[in-house]
Amino acid sequence: MSAIAEETVAAPPRRRLRLALWLLTRSFSSMLGLFLVTAIVALALLGPWIVPYPDDVQGGINLANKLQPPSFAHWLGTDEVGNDILTRVIIGARISLLVGIGITVAAAIIGVPLGILAGLAGGRLREVIMRFTDLFLSVPGLVLAIALVAALGPGIVNAMIALILVWWPGYVRLAEAKALSIRDEAYIEAARVAGASRARILRRHVLPNSISPLIVKMSMDIGQAILAVASLGFIGLGAKPPTPEWGAMISIARGYMPDWWWYAVAPGVFIYLAVLGFNLLGDGLRDILDPRSNRG
Amino acid sequence: MTEPLLRAEGLSRSFEGRRRLFHETPRVRAVAELNLTLDRGTALGIVGESGCGKSTLARLLLRLIPLSDGRIIFDGRDITALDESAMRPLRRRMQLIHQNPSAALDPRLSAEDAVAEPLRIHGVASGQALRDRVAALLAEVGLPSAFLHRFPHELSGGQKQRVCIARALALEPDLLVLDEPTSALDVSVQAQILDVLDALRARRGLAYLFISHNLAVVRQVCERVAVMYLGRIVEEGSAAEVLGTPRHPYTRALLESVPRLGANQAPPAAPGEPPNPASPPSGCAFHPRCALAVAACRAAMPPLVTLGDGHRLRCPRVG
Amino acid sequence: MSALLEIRDYRLAFDTFDGTAQVLDGIDLTLSAGETLGIVGETGCGKSVLARSLLQLNPMPPARVVSGQIHFRDEDILRLPERAMRRLRGRAIAMIFQDPASYLNPLLAIGTQMEDAIRGQDIAASLRKRPRAAARARAAELLAAVGLPEPARLLDSHPHMLSGGMRQRVLIAMALAGDPALLVADEPTTALDVTVQAQVLALIARLVAERGLALMLISHDLGVVAASCARVAVMYAGTVVEEAPTGELLARPLHPYARGLIAAVPDLDHPERRPQGIAGSIPGLIAPPSGCRFHPRCSAATDRCRREKPLRRELLPGRSVACHHATP
């Protein structure tokens, strides 16, 4: 009902914020996403101080205790060298989150300027940027990442580098599409008529109006990046044991299926909840960040 | 004779055709060999239906899109060949009002920031002086200071258009190009905006190039009117003559089509529709819809003939 | 004579973040078979919401019926289940809209879309779906009825090959497929050029006369309503403020808002009559003005107008006005 939106004239200054909260709380899935992300961030931040067995983080060996089922002392059981699994998945959250955010932010820093440049400049420069981007996009991301890690050598840092290299083209695509659509907006023409330079139009109008979809994509990508790192860890190209990385943990736990099933389930569930949380949150943000979505 | 504020000579704009894999987009002549002049402090209306090239003309005259041919002289200076950075200082003197004020305002800028933007760009004012200037501009278009910090989605259509007008006035231009400035507004608001525009012109001595499909609105605002059909002017003269005693068959059809309040029946309708600029009819573009058309009309484009007192007419059938 | 359509004390609200907007506030309107009624008003007056209510096209939620009935023939539309409503749509009540392009599927030929509509109407009428060929013949017949040349060729065209006026004619032809008794036209010519608008208005007038259609035409343009409708209802902020025979309303409006609306229209033939704006802007409907919703913009408003909502009363035969101070 645009007519109604148009009439809500006297807006108190904090309306935007209250509206955002209202939209968020109205959607169960957004709230679930927010809850999951908050929980994982909290675990990551507080990890070293709340884990029940801090000594197990670096992987002590306590074979007397190995492969215990979940119990009061070990809520999620213990692994093949007797470490507490709960402790290790909590510390794993720290690694996964850091890596996920790192990959996403780095990819955006590379991709967004290129995309906006391509969208605004047009012509040959755009062709060059976009075809180069297509080159990357035409190979399945994870396969390319595997090849890159294989070349660079396994390890968490190399896995990150490989994933950043396959991740940035998505941001070029999105930023270019957004810049192309904003370029034709009447308010850009209005700024030109006012005598604004290209740089000013970019800084003042194009960037602020491209931010929302980028934030939405980044939120969703953090989840995907966590999954990708875990995948690399699972096939032994990511973090190396005894680093408590979720993918690497599942990789080892696989050998103990199905008798010691809890060992694989714990990191698996954490990966699942993390990816789900960031995806749901991204969906919710999409509704909130559109300045025009102030209708009920 | 004093130099007019704006003069266009032989202005043309073609959008080049493109060969694509599956289809070919033909070359489209949006504006063709168009001459017009606009004197200081006067208002010239450009009327016509969709595809007649009136919006393209607006953007050509403001040098927002490249022209294919012709010359534009602004205040005695040939601006045809100026590049973007050479145009920038001149932009202070020629401003544009868009059709849809909702699209013409950045959704993330408040009314104050929107009006302040041109002043900031040209370094006209800053700090408190800037704020005072913006408040004065908004007051001039009838928006009290309570509106300063509103965002576009918190304003009604009429209020948004007032913000746009204030923004256009900020640099004290000589020329305002108004592209259907009231067609997105309700009639009661349209009347308010027309009052604002009249008052501004009287006070500031602005010249208006007023583009509209609404003949009654043009009649209110403009002294002179040019009627466009498929990229060309078909009739031009004083508003009273062109809209009061129209001569060109197209101008007549246009005027007759307007539903009158007292009519109580559907207005008489000219047959056919405005042609597609991509495949223009031969000769006079209006001939397929014209009751007066003869073989000569199909064969060649009639010239735009200047009659007495500056009335121009492109139709040999009505002399 | 029993009315074809009877709207009684219809109130519709929209639940929004800022609160409940009372979008329609007690609408009473009657339309007999073959009658033409124009609804005019400005943005946000609720005219399109009212039109959509006749086919239950308003999304619920956020929309919510607060009270009232909409009787079509002898059924209350507001209480019809969706299945029964589908039977009504297109067959008894057809609707055309402002933007013809967005109501045609760009991927399908006109013929395919019309055949689907015609065969859909057969199902709605509990008949056996007629074969495609028969539906196609009927489609060509309908296109000819709305004055489109070369129907056979047109049936094979895709929407993008048609001009705006032709698309609107195609939609009118589709609206006729179910042989409706009532045509609801929501700003049918707003997106069209003025010469094409004249053609479409002439077409609508002809169809109304030939087929005995009842017409409810929604428009912001008094001229369009004057050209098509014998009777007109002026809406403001969710209420009908005046209802009258079109000629009488235009000659002598009795409600202050109707007066203001007419005075705001620039007159092409009398440029010396300057259009007058109405001071102020349309009110929000979440906390609408007390009493008469027009009182903050009305120069004749008194304390009573601020306190008491005026009910629409018949001042002259066939003319009713919702204003405390209106006199015949």
Is the pLDDT at C199 greater than 70? The verdict is yes
State the best of C99, C268, C299 to mutate against chain B, taking most chain B CBs within 10 Å.
C268
**ipTM reported for the complex surpasses 0.90:** no
pLDDT-derived band at A6 (thresholds 50, 70, 90) equals very low
Residues of chain C with Cβ-Cβ distance to B243 below 8 Å are 268, 271
Is the pLDDT at A296 greater than 70? The verdict is no
Residues of chain B with Cβ-Cβ distance to C166 below 8 Å are 273
Min Cα separation A214/chain B (Å)? 16
Closest-CA residue of B relative to C203 is: B266
Inter-chain residue contact B155 with A9, CB threshold 8 Å:
yes
pLDDT in the model for residue A8: 37
Residues of chain A with Cβ-Cβ distance to B103 below 8 Å are 185-187
B105 touches chain A (CB under 8 A): yes
pLDDT in the model for residue A14: 60
What is the average pLDDT value for chain B, to the nearest integer? Answer: 89
pLDDT in the model for residue A1: 31
Per the structure, how many domains does chain A have?
1
State the best of A8, A14, A193 to mutate against chain B, taking most chain B CBs within 10 Å.
A193
Closest-CA residue of A relative to B90 is: A195
State the best of A2, A6, A8 to mutate against chain C, taking most chain C CBs within 10 Å.
A8
pLDDT in the model for residue A295: 38
Q: Where are the domains of chain C?
A: 3-290+308-321
Considering only the beta carbons, identify the residue of C195, C226, C276 that sits closest to B49.
C195
pLDDT-derived band at A9 (thresholds 50, 70, 90) equals very low
pLDDT in the model for residue B18: 67
A154 CA to centre of own chain = 22
Min Cα separation A295/chain C (Å)? 6
Among A42-46, A60-64, C150-154, C310-314, where is mean pLDDT lowest?
A60-64
Inter-chain residue contact B118 with A8, CB threshold 8 Å:
no
pLDDT in the model for residue B104: 92
CATH number of A42's domain: 1.10.3720.10
pLDDT in the model for residue A3: 34
Q: Are A209 and B106 in contact (CB under 8 A)?
A: yes
User: What's the mean pLDDT in A15-21?
Assistant: 72
pTM for the model stands at 0.84
Residues of chain C with Cβ-Cβ distance to B265 below 8 Å are 205, 227
pLDDT tens for each residue of C115-130: 888 888 777 777 777 8
Task: List chains touching C (3+ CB pairs under 8 A).
Answer: A, B
- List residues bridging with C25 in a β-sheet: C11
Inter-chain residue contact B191 with C227, CB threshold 8 Å:
no
B178 touches chain A (CB under 8 A): no
- List residues bridging with B95 in a β-sheet: B176
Q: Are A163 and A100 in contact (CB under 8 A)?
A: no
Write the CATH number of the domain with boundaries C3-290+308-321: 3.40.50.300
Residues of chain B with Cβ-Cβ distance to A193 below 8 Å are 62, 64, 91, 94-96, 168
Min Cα separation B125/chain C (Å)? 32
SS3 per-residue string spanning chain B:
CCCCCEEEEEEEEEECCEECCCCEECCEEEEEEEEEEECCCCEEEEECCCCCCHHHHHHHHCCCCCCCEEEEEECCEECCCCCHHHHHHHHCCEEEECCCHHHHCCCCCCHHHHHHHHHHHCCCCCHHHHHHHHHHHHHHCCCCHHHCCCCHHHCCHHHHHHHHHHHHHCCCCCEEEEECCCCCCCHHHHHHHHHHHHHHHHHHCCEEEEEECCHHHHHHHCCEEEEEECCEEEEEEEHHHHHHCCCCHHHHHHHHHCCCCCCCCCCCCCCCCCCCCCCCCCCCCCHHHCCCCCHHHHHCCCCCEECHHHCEECCCCCC
- Helix H or strand E encompassing C182: strand C182-186
Residues of chain C with Cβ-Cβ distance to B192 below 8 Å are 277
User: What's the mean pLDDT in C190-205?
Assistant: 88
pLDDT-derived band at B24 (thresholds 50, 70, 90) equals low
Q: Are strands C239-245 and C231-236 parallel, antiparallel or unpaired?
A: antiparallel
What is the average pLDDT value for chain C, to the nearest integer? Answer: 88
pLDDT-derived band at A65 (thresholds 50, 70, 90) equals confident
Among A218-227, B20-29, B44-53, C258-267, where is mean pLDDT lowest?
B20-29
Is the pLDDT at A151 greater than 70? The verdict is yes
Among A127-131, A268-272, B265-269, where is mean pLDDT lowest?
B265-269
Higher per-residue pLDDT: B267 or B117: B117
pLDDT in the model for residue A292: 52
Is the pLDDT at B187 greater than 70? The verdict is yes
A192 touches chain B (CB under 8 A): yes
pLDDT in the model for residue B23: 63
pLDDT-derived band at C271 (thresholds 50, 70, 90) equals confident
Q: What share of chain A is helix, strand, coil (3-state, %, to 5)?
A: 75, 0, 25
- The pLDDT > 70 percentage for chain A reads 92
